[in-house]
């Protein structure tokens, strides 16, 4: 990456293993697009909603030449599952973006006008 990885943890204690897992996954994203200019990962824990709703949220913001990719995933049991889901979604979006930039994606041709039956023709 051309700009260092930014990691923000909200509601978590300083966890070296969690930061290492984020760094390892961010480095793997370069396999799909080698010109990532910035990567920001935000992990949040909402302790206000204990029994309902989503508690863990992972957001990834990637900046690449010509665009930005943003992904948010939530999970109610484990922060690592939310993190994995967010990086998997970012990987898919980044791969799609790279294929479109290379021109590997087929463009749709304008749809031909549907044929209409002649006004005097009888239906079969």
- Bridge partners, residue 72, by sequence: 59
| Mean of pLDDT values over 88-102 | 89
Q: What percent of the chain has pLDDT over 90?
A: 31
pLDDT band at 115 (very low <50, low <70, confident <90, very high): low
pLDDT band at 40 (very low <50, low <70, confident <90, very high): very high
pLDDT of 48 reads 65
pLDDT of 118 reads 57
- Record the pTM: 0.74
Burial of 24 (0-12, 13-18, 19+ CB in 10 A): exposed
All domains in the chain, ordered by first residue: 6-101 (3.30.160.100)
**Checking DSSP bridges between strand 6-10 and strand 38-45, what pairing results, if any?**
parallel
pLDDT band at 107 (very low <50, low <70, confident <90, very high): low
> Is the confidence at residue 105, as pLDDT, over 80?
no
Output the 3-class SS for 5-56. CEEEEECCCCCHHHHHHHHHHHHHHHHCCCCCCEEEEEEEECCCCCCCCCCE
pLDDT of 12 reads 78
Cα distance between residue 11 and residue 113, in whole Å: 57
């Amino acid at each position: 990456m051309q700009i260092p990885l930014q990691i923000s943890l909200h509601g978590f204690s300083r966890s070296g293993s969690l930061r290492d897992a984020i760094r390892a996954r961010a480095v793997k994203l370069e396999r799909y697009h080698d010109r990532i200019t910035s990567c920001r990962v935000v992990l949040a824990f909402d302790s206000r909603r204990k029994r309902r709703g989503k508690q863990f949220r992972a957001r990834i913001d990637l900046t690449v030449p010509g665009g930005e990719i943003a992904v948010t995933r939530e999970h109610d049991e484990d922060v690592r599952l939310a993190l994995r889901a967010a990086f998997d979604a970012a990987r898919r979006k980044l791969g799609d973006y790279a294929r479109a930039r290379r021109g590997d994606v087929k463009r749709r041709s304008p749809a031909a006008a549907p044929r209409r039956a002649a006004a005097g023709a009888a239906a079969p």
